[in-house]
Structures are given as structure tokens and as C-alpha cells.
Copies of this chain bind each other. A is one copy, B any other.
Amino acid sequence: MNPAPGAAGVTINPDRLLSDLRRLREFGACGVGVVRQSLSPIDVESRHWLCERMRDAGLEARIDGVGTVLGRSRNPGPAILLGSHTDTQPRGGWLDGAMGVIYGLEVARAVAECEATRHLAVDVASWIDEEGAFLTCLGSLTFCGELAPESARDLTDNEGKTLGEAIREAGLEGVPVMRREPGRYAGYAEAHIEQGPWLEHQGKRVGAVTGIVGSRNFVIEFKGQQNHAGTTPMALRRDAGHALVELAHRVYDTFPEHAGERSVWTIGRIALDPGVQSIVPGRAEMHLQFRDQDVAVLDRLEAQARALVAEAGARGRAEVHMTEFGKRSLPAIMDERLRGHIERAAERHAPGDWIPMPSAAIHDAQVLSRHMPAAMMFVPSIGGISHAFEEDTSEEDLVLGCQVFATAAANMLLD
């Protein structure tokens, strides 16, 4: 394939890129990892810092009424919107979404410094709560008008704090929530670490994302009879924990028959009530999540989960109920034209060292793709590790990825 034409002069500044990434890492640093959940005090602090850096880059920057940061170019559109998220998981890695936001910032600076491109409009966003402390992709959903901010105020985090309280504590009470400006955007591009092992396994350095998997989350609740762990004969027990373990075992046992080649399923949370060694649990709860690129496969896995719930209920150890929670994320196909620019830029800066690949993780690009052409680019994750403190990417890959992203972004507007 022919490498990317034009925009030859757009050159990123590796030291500036890496120093901003390292500075952002300090907000919520915990060993080599980062704890910076949406709207926590340290997250809010980092958003004010980000606004400052955007202003230094010549952007009009502000934090909106849910916490999303948008840095707007002073140039007229059509604009390219570059973004990702700077919030983290409860025990998150330092790059994850933060890398894509700082890539956007660096690209905006590089484009503005280049004779051939300084007239282009590059907007940069850090969407609030992509990790779902309150609601997965909250910021991109409100920006695109898929979610009315008021309707989300009562959502709670794991500590039971409501989004409304968090917004008030962040000093954002009454601040307007930004909405996509009709007609301004030629498209959206998001860079992210792969969060998986494929690039590393194949010895590649850039991934041009073809599509993003959809996911569904369910809570399964078990109601039995709490009782004394010594005096209640095994035959007379209605042990909610036993019912949960047997259902979880059946999930691990039977899902492979119903799954697609790249389907994944996870039981990420189990809780027994009251949860002490000398009491037969009267209640129990588990979270079940599964992901696939194909809605038909997601439907099949959901049907199997419901069949197992019915089976567990019929066994009579406990009443069993399954309820979907969070926002169901739909599979998304990336825009052909924008993806072509990422592929050509990758071929130009890393000839032969890139591959087209799907994204197995949820990203804000899924939401944006329903409202404008959208594309995503991946850089390798060392050991495929992410959503963990150990998550990392080599400096060489961080720098190369940003240069590819800069060239691609400029060409999305020039071409």
C-alpha cells in the first residue's frame, strides 16, 4: 500500500509528549499504577491541569457539567475530534485512556506548529467516566445527546455516592453539559493501548481498529435462608452461596459451546451475605459480563445465562434473579475512510509493522461512531496487561504511535 501523502511536516515532539504523560501519571499515582476514578478529588485536580495544558496549546478549554474536558481549536471547522479518557479503574494502569488524550493534545500542538497544517481545526476531549465508576462512557453519551445528564444524577459508585453528589463536590454544580456542535466535525479518532496480547504476539507496533465488540453486564441475585453453619443439616439448607457457586460453575462449563471464537465472559464480582464463616449465606450476588463483535453471539450467551438461572432456580436451593445493569454497549464498525488514513500513516512510519484488528474493549469511539465517522488506533501493551498497575508500553512504541496518529489525523482533514 502507498504510505500517507501530505502532512509531511507534522512532527510530534517526543519529549513534550512523554513529559505530559508522566505528569498526568502523578495524579493518583500508586506505585507504578494509578488510582484516579471519575470525579474523585485527584481526578478533578488532573482535569484542571489538563485544561491548563490545552490552553498552553492554544485551545479553548473547559470542564463541563459532568466532568468532560474539551479543548476546542480556534480555527473554523471542519474539525477532527481527538479524544479518549483520563479516568482509571479502581486499580488502573498509567496509560489506558490517558495516552489517547495526551496524544490528542500533542497532535493539536504539532499540527499548529506545522506550516502546512496550522489552519486545521483539531479539538481534543477527555470523556468523563469511560471506566464506569457511575456509568460506562458517561461523557461521550451526554456529549452525543444519547443520555440526558439529569437522568444520570442518581447513579451511584461502589461507595454509594451519587453522580449528583460527585458533581457537586467537584464544583461543577450548574455548569452546562457540552453537546456535539452540529456540522463541525469531519470525524472522531481515538488512540488507545491495545490492552491485549495480539500486537506483541505478532511483533507489530500499530493496530488499525476495524470494529469494537459489544458487551452486556448482568447481576444475578440468589435468595436462600440464612442459618447457623453448625446446626443446620446439609439436607435442610437453602444456601444462597452454594446456589451461586453451582451456577457460576455451569457458566464456565457451558459458555464455550455457545460462544464465538473471540467471545469473552467474566464473573468479576461475587458477594455472600452476611459473609462470615459460621453462617449459611442467606443471600448472594454475582456479576456476569460477556463481550463479542456479533450481536447474534451476545444474544446466544444471554439466552444461555437465562437458561442457567432458570435451572438454578428449579434446583430450589435459592430464588434466582438476573437483571441487566449499566449501559449495554453495541458492537461498532469503524469508518473505512478514516481507518484508511491510520493504515497509510502506519505504513509510512512503521512499514509492515502494523495490522488491522478488532477492539475487544469498550471505548468512547463506540458512542461517537453512532454520530460521526470514527476510527481507532492501538499501540502494544507489554504482556497484554491492562486494568492493572503493571500495565505498560515501551517509550519507542508510545512515540511512534503518536507520530502515526498525528499524520493520520492531519490527513483526515487535508484529504
Q: Which residues from chain A sit less than 8 Å from chain B, CB to CB?
A: 89-91, 131-132, 136, 158, 194-197, 213, 215, 217, 225-234, 236, 239, 241-242, 245-246, 248-249, 252, 256, 259, 262-272, 274-282, 287-289, 291, 326, 359-362, 381, 384-388
Contact = CB atoms under 8 A, between A and B. Distances in A.
Most buried by B among A131, A278, A289, A359: A278
B279 A228 contact: no
Contacts of A264: 229-230, 232-234
Contacts of A136: 278
6 contacts: A217-B277, A230-B362, A231-B360, A232-B384, A269-B276, A278-B362
Copies in the assembly, this chain: 2
A69 to B, nearest CB: 22
Contacts of A275: 268-271
Sorted nearest first, the 4 A-B pairs with minimum C-beta distance are A196-B231, A229-B266, A195-B231, A230-B361
A291 to B, nearest CB: 5
Given A231-B360, A246-B252, A278 B289 contact: yes
A158 B276 contact: yes
A199 to B, nearest CB: 11
By secondary structure, the A interface counts as loop
A211 to B, nearest CB: 13
Nearest to A279: B387
A209 to B, nearest CB: 12
Contacts of A241: 267-268, 270
Given A252-B242, A252-B246, A279 B89 contact: yes
A274 B384 contact: no
A320 to B, nearest CB: 16
A264 to B, nearest CB: 6
A345 to B, nearest CB: 23
Contacts of A242: 252, 267
Most buried by B among A228, A248, A256, A263: A228
Nearest to A252: B242
B387 A89 contact: no
A27 B263 CA distance: 53
A22 to B, nearest CB: 23
Given A231-B360, A242-B252, A384 B278 contact: no
